[in-house]
Amino acid sequence: MTYNRLAQLTTAVIGSGILLVMVAVTAFAQVENPQNGGIGLQGKISSPPPSSAPTISTPGNGQVISTIPIEVRGICTGNLLVKLYKNNVFSGSDQCRNGSYSITIDLFSGRNELVARHVDELDQQGPDSNVVAITFNDGASRPNLAERITVTSSYARRGANPTETLSWPIVITGGTAPYALSVDWGDGSQADVYSITIPGEFTIKHVFKQAGVYRALIKATDKNGNVGFLQLTAIANGEIKQADVAGAVESGRTITKVLWQPVVLAIPFVITTFYLGKKYEVTRIKQKLSKGEHPFD
């Protein structure tokens, strides 16, 4: 084997090795996220719950109400969410704006104890507000008290990006089916109208065009004209921008990165191999000449 042939073979072997390393590294760096069967980790930075309580200014304690809905107003803190409860049942929410909130609610027949609480981004609740006890006197206009409609949801606040669909499960109980449901999303668009044939869970949907915080007011009417109300807080988050690689991984795009470090590390190896190959060939030729043999046989 001549020096040229040895050098050619060495070059081919080293070149193939470098190519395989580059292909392996590139294939390893090309990741599709999220992956099937993968495990995602999600965490929240802990912080203390709200320490302040909102106040209920209206209606006044001891007031007698004869019609619904009513508007509950009060003072709140920062940009916290305010959740309102009547007789310990969630009855509506609003985002604190300029130090105040306003929530439209319906009432149970008879005595209703209203309590408001601050809620932070981690869904941690603060202390109770002042308790306001009011009476809903609807017996004269609605003798069958079993017909009262209740509209509620497990979510006081929900969000989606603008131009994306926001889905919100709600629950309707009581009254007499079928129900007519209207949802005013508070963004100036025409109210969405649904027809619901049976009580239970139902999902309402909407697409906001602009980012913002909106009061979504739901009104349910049953076959006999009885009504129920629920106000919720809808958030159009706006475009979420992530930093470079993190953003691509979060959105599930394919990331391809060609890493040149292995190639750089391989250069000294290639030079050393050529040097050793040349030295070996020269030594071999000298040995053959000393034996009187043809050096290139």
Is 148 within 8 Å of 226 (Cβ atoms)?
yes
In one letter, which amino acid is 264? V
- Tell me the torsion sign for CA atoms 100, 105, 109, 115: negative
Residue 119 has pLDDT above 70, yes or no: yes
Q: Are residues 23 and 69 in the same domain?
A: no
- Per-residue pLDDT reduced to its tens digit, 46-97: 789 999 999 999 999 999 999 999 999 999 999 999 999 999 999 999 999 9
Considering 196, 220, 236, which residue would you say is the last residue of a domain?
236
**C-alpha distances in Å from residue 188, one per residue of 96, 192, 207, 217:** 20, 12, 12, 12
Query: For tokens 């603008």, what's the residue?
Result: 162
Kindly state whether residues 62 and 166 are assigned to the same domain: yes
Question: Same domain, yes or no, for 156 and 67?
Answer: yes
Contact by Cβ (8 Å): 87, 131 = no
Q: Is residue 148 part of a domain?
A: yes
Residues 224 and 266 in one domain: no
By the 10 Å C-beta count (0-12 exposed, 13-18 middle, 19+ buried), 116 is classed as buried
Number of domains in the chain: 2
Q: What range defines the domain where residue 161 resides?
A: 55-236
Q: Is the pLDDT of residue 131 over 50?
A: yes
Beta carbons of 205 and 165 less than 8 angstroms apart:
yes
286 shares its domain with 218: no
pLDDT above 50 (res 253): no
According to the model, what pLDDT value does residue 3 have? 46
Residues 267 and 158 placed together within one structural domain of the fold = no
Tokens 């106000």 — which residue?
Answer: 231
| pLDDT reported for residue 250 | 34
Is the same domain home to 180 and 67? yes
* Confidence class for position 147, pLDDT limits 50, 70, 90: confident
Q: Is residue 127 part of a domain?
A: yes
Mean pLDDT of 202-211: 97
Specify the pLDDT at position 138: 82
The span from the CA of 143 to the CA of 131, in Å, is 28
- Taking the C-alpha atoms of residue 138 and residue 107, their distance in angstroms, rounded to an integer, is 10
User: Are 229 and 90 in a shared domain?
Assistant: yes
